[in-house]
Structure 1
């Protein structure tokens, strides 16, 4: 059984890298490196190293909400990708944890390397914000 990992990259929505949205660059780079799947989630509130609370609250609306880029793949693929992430992300938080991947039997697709390719891509915006 292969070991799978989940890489979470917490950044601000307004963060950029080479004049592109950082979260978009991370997803495109993960795709270019052949990783199994990536999802971007826009959060409704949070704070980071500067301790400034950012929220969707209409009284204190922020244009720099927290964004989480989640990438899931086999452990060795994630391990190879971490230095790439570190070279792109200047501020934020990067976490790594093992996960159990349960594939829907009817939707799983196998590649020649016997690695599943997931049939999803999500730019998720929580609670319709």
Structure 2
């Protein structure tokens, strides 16, 4: 159902992702809204890594609610409040996804609340 495209005629992926992710015969798509690293009570942990791990836990909960797992993810967009956090972001994403590769975009932005350090949105298919 999922084919990764990393053509030899362009630069190799700079991390654990694929340049293109093709879906064939997917019957369900799940669009996950921008998710912050907020705990169930709505508070934001102090550290970037804790917020990143919580954001991925929140995405996991939405996937689980739809009967999916991270293996169903095909596209992830990450919005960082500080570009300096990109390496920690990549490390946490790698731990969560393991060997599964998705199409990824990571950009530095100004988030709506100063306590938020990142926001992640995703698309999954089954």
TM over 0.5: no
After TM superposition, the score normalised by the length of structure 2 is 0.31
After TM superposition, the score normalised by the length of structure 1 is 0.30
